[in-house]
Amino acid sequence: MSVLHDKQILLGVSGSIAAYKVPFIVRLLVKKGAAVQVLMTEAAKAFVSPLTLSTLSNREVLTSFTQEDSDGALWNNHVELGLWADAMLVAPASANTLSKMAQATADNLLIASYLSAKCPVFFAPAMDLDMHKHPANKQNIDTLVQNGNHLIPATSGALASGLEGEGRMEEPEQIVSLLESYFLEKSPLSGKKIMITAGPTYEPIDPVRFIGNHSSGKMGYALANKAASLGASVTLISGPTTGNSLHPNVNCIQVTTADEMLQACLKEFSETDAVIMSAAVADFRPIKTTNQKIKKKAGLDALDLEPTTDILATLGKAKKGQLLIGFALESQDAMKHATLKLKQKNLDAVVVNSLADKGAGFGHDTNKISFLAADKKPVYYPLKSKDEVASDILNHLNEMFHAN
């Protein structure tokens, strides 16, 4: 799957004959799974039809700040467009549009959206050779590069004027592959297969009752979603949770009991590069489970329990080069117990949670962790959102991949 899959691209088209290549850019991006929103200047409409681009992008092409529909005037919100995009591409970027971008002349929707964009911006100049090499134009290009935009340089060759020289817009395949390379570089976990467990497990007593715990799965889902957005191929093995949203590239396997989680983990393990075991697996299960609901009248004097299999320790014994990260939820002497778990379960690292910390652990949107890697000093973090904690853990994992 291309790294452009599910990326949201704002494509600004300005008035240049090179706009005839834009349908190919849109087609390639859409084929790779990107969502493309085309913005056109008035001048661009003379070179390529909005109908062609809206048909290929499957979205209405936007050309002005407002437009009429049956309910009256609609505002095309340039701020929202700028924030929506994962990347903006201005192709072709005419001399006029380059100048407006460099000077912040927000007199059309393309420029206003560019000025609002927080994402990386790529621009592909296209114009005749003398315009291209004019010092004023060169200065505008330099300004845009200094402002952090990514230049896709014009190439040399035959120009529409009949002249030969520098000023041709780069070919659509090259432009798309440049975008791909950019996102690949930003996807440090690309090519890695990561298995993450989340949520509680439920151990049945009878068809309606179970032994479980308060885990919401939020930490595991945050890890899975972040790992997918960093380019990893993610399998999430999740116990019963509700309300957690999932990145479209995460393959989620739902399980209920510790034994089902164990079987699912063992099935995936040999194909996996790293495991992050954030599930709160039940440590005990009833020895006997009845098929019929236990009636209140019949009474229940005692519930005999047996330990579940320690999934992480099982994987620790079986591992052949996979990196194993466990969680340790402790109420006292957190570092001492976590160090013991690290050794006993043959782990590469442990994420330590202390029940003594406010805002950490089950149910919260925040967590406070320490990261303890084998033979390393622990790294202590302040209270953060679970999304930020997921980033911290995956940064460590990325370093561990590179150290291996």
Of 67-75, 130-138, 320-328, 388-396: span binding ligand CTP (CB under 6 A):
320-328
Of 75-83, 85-93, 120-128, 310-318: span binding ligand CTP (CB under 6 A):
310-318
DSSP-based three-state secondary structure for 296: coil
Q: Per rule CB under 6 A, is residue 308 in the interface with ligand CTP?
A: yes
- Half-sphere exposure at residue 31, Cβ-oriented, CA atoms within 13 angstroms: 11
What is the rounded distance in angstroms from the CA atom of residue 354 to the CA atom of residue 352?
A: 7
Of 188-196, 289-297, 325-333, 390-398: span binding ligand CTP (CB under 6 A):
325-333
> Taking the chain, what is the end-to-end CA distance rounded to the nearest angstrom?
26
The amino acid present at 189, given as its one-letter code, is L
Q: For residue 92, say if its preceding peptide bond is cis, omega within 30 degrees of 0.
A: yes
Give me the residues paired with residue 233 across strands. 193
Of 40-48, 109-117, 327-335, 372-380: span binding ligand CTP (CB under 6 A):
327-335
Give the residue with the Cβ less far from ligand CTP, 157 or 307.
307
DSSP-based three-state secondary structure for 266: helix
Q: Per rule CB under 6 A, is residue 279 in the interface with ligand CTP?
A: yes
What is the rounded distance in angstroms from the CA atom of residue 309 to the CA atom of residue 284?
A: 9
- Half-sphere exposure at residue 48, Cβ-oriented, CA atoms within 13 angstroms: 29
Q: Per rule CB under 6 A, is residue 273 in the interface with ligand CTP?
A: no
Q: Which of 283, 357, 388, 392 binds ligand CTP (CB under 6 A)?
A: 283
Minimum CB distance to ligand CTP, residue 335 (Å): 13
Give the residue with the Cβ less far from ligand CTP, 233 or 308.
308
Minimum CB distance to ligand CTP, residue 323 (Å): 14
What is the rounded distance in angstroms from the CA atom of residue 253 to the CA atom of residue 265?
A: 10
Q: Per rule CB under 6 A, is residue 39 in the interface with ligand CTP?
A: no
DSSP 154: -
**Residues binding ligand CTP: number (CB under 6 A):** 14
What is the rounded distance in angstroms from the CA atom of residue 237 to the CA atom of residue 90?
A: 41
Minimum CB distance to ligand CTP, residue 391 (Å): 19
367: left (phi over 0), alpha (psi -120 to 50) or beta: beta
Q: Per rule CB under 6 A, is residue 328 in the interface with ligand CTP?
A: yes
Q: Per rule CB under 6 A, is residue 277 in the interface with ligand CTP?
A: yes
Q: Per rule CB under 6 A, is residue 349 in the interface with ligand CTP?
A: no
Would residue 367 show up in a list of annotated catalytic residues for this protein? Answer: no
| Binding site residues, ligand CTP, CB under 6 A | 258, 277, 279, 281, 283, 308, 310-312, 326-329, 341
